Structure 1
Amino acid sequence: MAIAGAITGAEAGLTPITAIALVGVLGVGAQFIAWRMQLPAIVLMLLAGVLAGPVTGLLDPARDIGPLVAPIVSLAVAIILFEGGLTLNLHKLRDAAKGVRRLVFIGAPLGWLSSALALRYGAGLGWETAAVFGGIMIVTGPTVIAPLLRQAKLSRRPAALLQWEAIINDPIGALAAVLAFEVVMVRQTAASAGHAAQELILGIAFATVLGAAAGYGLAAAFKRGLVPEYMKVPVLFVTLIAAFALSDTMLHESGLLAVTLMGVVIANAELPSYAEIRRFKEHATVLLVSGVFILLAASLDFDMLGQLTWRAALFVGLVIGLARPLTVLISLIGTGLPWREKLLIALTGPRGVVLVAVAGLFGERLAAMGIEDGALVAPLAFALVAVTVVLHGFTLKPLAQALGLAGADTPGVLLVGGSKWSTALAEALHKAGVQVLLADPNRGRLRAARQLGLPTFFGDILSEAAEHNIELAQYARLVALTDNDAYNTLVTTDLAPEYGRDNVFQLARAKESQARHALPATLGGRVFAQGRHYDELQALARAGWDFRTTTLSEEYGLDTWRDDRPDAVLIVAIYPNGELRFPREDSSLKGGDGVQLLYFAPAKPKPQGQA
């Protein structure tokens, strides 16, 4: 009876509230499982949506949520593009600027042409449909690129190129489709070509002016204190939605251009509260990307895919193996980029939500005008998205590692502070096979590290120079080791969102136990060196203590090591899979065969055990 009731309930459909809740649970749940299992999040989200939608029939967005699905997806894409625009800071572009210009001004037209040719001769579509759909295919999917870059941890420059290309070309692709559709409409109807061109030019101009004006207006209001701090994010959201709706009313799909420009303007306005705004938007984007992908996959119609023939596979193969690589390699000629970076970008072209949403819309319009193959646009778009999401989801990280453009398997450690003790720690980590970088704004403090051949960075770790010159993807942990407790707290607090709060550490504050000096848990990093502070460690070093490494085995376990060295300060446990664990004083570590223990101990160790 219970099973029959559940089936009947599924057939009847979910309430809108239940359906939206299910979308959230599936999307965020898929991302969490992907993080735990080290799998591509995009692939799991796509799989979760397909299982919940066409496979089991539990979720049908059109049935359960109704006509609100399309507006929800449109607004979500607008917010995602705006957040993407917020990441496009011109100061961060630097050495990738020339490549980005080429990918936009040369790559977009080339991509349009090559995609249209693949559609015409691969999928067998007519020229009119191929021209419209080819314009949409300029986009490489910011909704897909962001999770892929987060998983693959690419080097700074190729990551910047892929991110900028995806975000800037997204509205360009939508507008290219609008342009091609206007031309087709003029050919198919009695509409005036002059009127269509005028409408298109005015729409693009209006979107450009509106997006720039909204961005500059908000930036000026925030700088002058005209908006209270607690109202900044709500005002930002309302302005974003209003700009998108107003621009889209003037010319369909031009709202994407308006919100992207708005985000870029705010990103380059040097707002004091920019970091807080961006972090909030990043969290919203994770939720929106999850939700949109679940809605996309759950809306899949197997009957629609049944319209496809072997030519669909040929089309997808031509796009991935020929159109994308040729477009990128030709666009990047003369940029001076290393061939490895060119190859990685050429072989990375995932498509996402914007492609399916816009393609479905124009496919319906083409079919309504009597162009029969317009009905094939939506299934072809979904096939391309599904294949590229799965392909790049599983291959981007291995490809980047093979080309030397991704972080090492063993997570690196960034040490801030060039004291004698931290230099010795950096040397010990380096000898243990851990990638390490020692940073300090005082060149003299880095002299000993440079003489030892250790990688160093001269400058403030919070400066723009550090952001431009340090490959953060190479380092998964940050440890603040300076003699200034306040600076250690500032560094770990500021960089916690970048590394994750569980991955930033600092030496204990000397006066932390005193009530007037105690800080809230939201400030600072996790305890390092089992709660020892700077002066205490320096005193131990002067007393002859040094760093040592012990490798555990089945015969010589963690408990035995602790019994042999009761005074030792355990710094880090290095596991055979490359994982690093920095224990607290009361932390319970797991030992095991092959685990390396790096610790700080007296000069004369006990005779038992291994050292």
Structure 2
Amino acid sequence: MAVAETAGLDPVLGFALVGALGVGSQWLAWRLRMPAIVLMLAAGLAVGPGLGVLAPSEQFGDLMQPMLAIAVAIILFEGGMTLNVRSLSDAAVGVRRLVFIGGPLGWAASAAALHWAAGLSWQTSAVFGGIMIVTGPTVIAPLLRQARLRKRPAALLQWEAIVNDPVGALAAVLAFEVVVVFGNGASAGGAIFDMVTGIAIAAALGAAGGWGLAQAFRNALVPEYMKVPVLFTLLLVVFAVSDAILHESGLLAVTVMGLWIANADLPSYAELRRFKEHATILLVSGVFILLAANMDRATLLAMDWRTLAFVVTVILIARPLPVLVALAFSDIPLRERLLVAFTGPRGVVLVAVAGLFGDLLVDVGVEDGAQVTMLAFALVAATVVLHGFTLTPMARWLGLTATETPGVLIVGGSRWATALGLAFAKLDLPVMVADPNLAHLRSARDAGLDTFWGDILSEVAEHKLDLVTYDKVIAASDNDAYNTLVATDLAPEFGREHVFQLRRLRQSSRHALPSTLGGQAIAADETYFEANARLADGWEFRVTKLSDEFTLEQWRDRHPDAVPVADLGPGGTLRLLGPDTKVKSTDGTRLLFLGPKREERKEDRRDENGQDTLKSA
């Protein structure tokens, strides 16, 4: 096996290192509650120009660019698959304005920043300015997960990032064609005709691929176990054919294909999208590590005051101004306009496409095209770090987060659900009770809790509810099969460790559901009827605060029969407790428990830090 000369790793070890660093960075970011993109960027720089352990261009050779191109295509396709038109709702006008008005204005503003701040020629500025209108779904998606934005500003940022990515690449193609025409005296009409034809063919290929795949899946022409392989193969074919017709048009083709599939109402859509999300996480991690590690020290050291001036100009002028103009006089509130205007992280597509066109510009005699890669990397690094640390605080300051502290979604209305919901409300947590039966929600509505009348698994719930407000789910209806379905379906979205359900009634092996389905046990692991019977017998949900003066052991001595349900740490971290989960005894932890109703003496209230009893509804 050949070993790279400049680094001590062969290609196989190189791939393994990229995967370990990418996934490891995302895991560490989850543990530390930091932006994952920042850690991936730092890891790539450390093993690349820092330690010299990884040199992707030399270790992977001619495969480097095709790998990046295919990875970006899959990422954009997955992004297109998330764009269901029904999810736009009240953000549709804003998205159209950001694409059709903000895109051209951003192109002009970016070109001006490149020419006057970075000192590039107008030819290079026009080409690179087109690429700079992309904001990067590879960066936006992790940031949106972290910031927990409200539905409309999140939709604006997500749609703009995914739709503008191929548009920016095609804008660069158009500008490059113009540079070539003026450089060699070729026919401008012929270049424009080729460009328009290529775009039309790319859009048609994407639509045809999406339509054909949808028809094949809907008519059972592809067996279930082959759907994902067929999807990947068709994606690669559409991308390659379109790119062969017009360079970089493959990105448009796969985005259109993803959009078509997202709106085709396929029965297997959820499974396809889930697998694509997993693949995209791996690809985003790998691409970021590769691009950061591929930077060389000479390029990094070439950054000077002009580079800084360019980055500052883009962040403070070239990004906000076009967005504010595009969204002016719309029904979008000023706070949301400001958030979108000052949130413009760039990602994989910018660096990959910029590097390609930088080389092409040099080949046609535009010497300062060699600076494009360095400027692109500087912009990506600066915006990733800036927005990675500022988006969440800015969203909170503008009041655009779905919630300060994620809450609990209770599926199934009952006396038990209402009493538990009131207990969570006492902890200042968002709580919603959902049930398809309106009568089951009566007690929750009367108690002042937020309710949703309908199936929580329906498209209406997906598009109308800000589910990002909640990070815990309790399936507690009187239908065990429905509880199991809800817990199983929502587990990938919320995380299996955050989905709970009441215990199913004991059934014969002939009728019992598999134990691998459903959610985790909560509290005393009781059935719907046992849980509600406790309240009928006089039990109630109560909240107390643990401290150095009133410890967990003292609480246990005072309430020997009580059942812990949840604890809320001093930092605001909520845990739902199962029958075997240990309660945290940290000073300041608030404990929610279910206990027998009793008369409390004044000293009891003083011992328990003045916490009032929360009676069941």
TM-score interval, smaller chain? over 0.9
* Aligned length in residues: 603
**What is the CA deviation profile of residues 588-608 of structure 1, one whole-angstrom value per residue up to 9, with x for unaligned ones?**
222121111111111127877
**Is residue 2:77 matched to residue 1:82?**
yes
Q: Assess if the C-alpha contact under 8 Å between 1:565 and 1:606 holds in 2.
A: no
What is aligned with 2:429?
434
What is aligned with 2:594?
600
Of 225, 231, 253, the match for 2:220: 225
Amino acid at match of 1:321: L
What is aligned with 1:563?
557
Amino acid at match of 1:563: D
Deviation at 1:17, TM superposition (A): 0.4
**Is residue 2:400 matched to residue 1:388?**
no
Amino acid at match of 2:304: T
What is aligned with 2:615?
none
**Is residue 2:577 matched to residue 1:583?**
yes
Provide the secondary structure at the position in 2 that maps to 1:598: strand
What is aligned with 2:254?
259
How far apart, in 1, do the equivalents of 2:402 and 2:88 lie? 20
How far apart, in 1, do the equivalents of 2:490 and 2:513 lie? 17
Amino acid at match of 1:92: S
What is aligned with 1:66?
61
How far apart, in 2, do the equivalents of 1:117 and 1:69 lie? 32
How far apart, in 2, do the equivalents of 1:172 and 1:521 lie? 48
Q: Assess if the C-alpha contact under 8 Å between 2:433 and 2:451 holds in 1.
A: yes
**Is residue 2:237 matched to residue 1:242?**
yes
**What is the CA deviation profile of residues 512-556 of structure 1, one whole-angstrom value per residue up to 9, with x for unaligned ones?**
6x5344433431111112201111111111111111112111233
Provide the secondary structure at the position in 2 that maps to 1:74: helix
- Runs of at least 5 residues in structure 1 that lack an aligned partner in the other structure: 1-7
1:346-361 correspondence runs (5 A): 346-361=341-356
Of 390, 397, 401, the match for 1:402: 397
**What is the CA deviation profile of residues 440-490 of structure 1, one whole-angstrom value per residue up to 9, with x for unaligned ones?**
223333233233322222222112221222111111111111111111111
User: Greater CA deviation, 553-562 or 11-20?
Assistant: 553-562
Amino acid at match of 1:566: P
How far apart, in 2, do the equivalents of 1:398 and 1:62 lie? 38
Of 553, 572, 577, the match for 2:547: 553
Of 167, 181, 189, the match for 1:186: 181
**Is residue 2:124 matched to residue 1:101?**
no
**Is residue 2:516 matched to residue 1:522?**
yes
How far apart, in 2, do the equivalents of 1:526 and 1:599 lie? 18
What is aligned with 1:372?
367
Q: Assess if the C-alpha contact under 8 Å between 2:436 and 2:455 holds in 1.
A: yes
Provide the secondary structure at the position in 2 that maps to 1:65: helix
How far apart, in 2, do the equivalents of 1:208 and 1:11 lie? 42
**Is residue 2:527 matched to residue 1:506?**
no
**Is residue 2:424 matched to residue 1:420?**
no
Deviation at 1:199, TM superposition (A): 1.5
**Is residue 2:196 matched to residue 1:201?**
yes
Provide the secondary structure at the position in 2 that maps to 1:515: coil
What is aligned with 1:124?
119
How far apart, in 2, do the equivalents of 1:398 and 1:294 lie? 27
How far apart, in 2, do the equivalents of 1:227 and 1:595 lie? 54
Deviation at 1:58, TM superposition (A): 0.4
User: Greater CA deviation, 49-58 or 493-502?
Assistant: 493-502
How far apart, in 1, do the equivalents of 2:165 and 2:262 lie? 18
**Is residue 2:51 matched to residue 1:17?**
no
- Runs of at least 5 residues in structure 2 that lack an aligned partner in the other structure: 612-617
The 3 A distance-change label for structure 1 pair 366 and 9 is closer
What is aligned with 1:534?
528
TM-score normalised to structure 1 length: 0.96
**Is residue 2:158 matched to residue 1:163?**
yes
**What is the CA deviation profile of residues 343-374 of structure 1, one whole-angstrom value per residue up to 9, with x for unaligned ones?**
11001000011101111111111112121211
How far apart, in 2, do the equivalents of 1:103 and 1:141 lie? 14
Deviation at 1:78, TM superposition (A): 0.2
**Is residue 2:490 matched to residue 1:495?**
yes
Q: Assess if the C-alpha contact under 8 Å between 1:511 and 1:517 holds in 2.
A: no
Of 128, 132, 138, the match for 1:133: 128
Amino acid at match of 2:285: S
How far apart, in 2, do the equivalents of 1:69 and 1:590 lie? 49
Amino acid at match of 1:43: V
TM-score normalised to structure 2 length: 0.95
How far apart, in 2, do the equivalents of 1:285 and 1:338 lie? 33
Provide the secondary structure at the position in 2 that maps to 1:529: coil
What is aligned with 1:316?
311
Amino acid at match of 2:261: I
How far apart, in 1, do the equivalents of 2:394 and 2:114 lie? 27
How far apart, in 2, do the equivalents of 1:115 and 1:522 lie? 53
What is aligned with 1:572?
566
How far apart, in 2, do the equivalents of 1:389 and 1:341 lie? 20
User: Greater CA deviation, 193-202 or 448-457?
Assistant: 448-457
How far apart, in 2, do the equivalents of 1:12 and 1:20 lie? 13
**Is residue 2:459 matched to residue 1:472?**
no
Q: Assess if the C-alpha contact under 8 Å between 1:574 and 1:595 holds in 2.
A: yes
Deviation at 1:273, TM superposition (A): 0.3
Q: Assess if the C-alpha contact under 8 Å between 1:564 and 1:606 holds in 2.
A: no
Deviation at 1:9, TM superposition (A): 8.9
Q: Assess if the C-alpha contact under 8 Å between 2:37 and 2:139 holds in 1.
A: yes
Of 269, 275, 280, the match for 1:285: 280
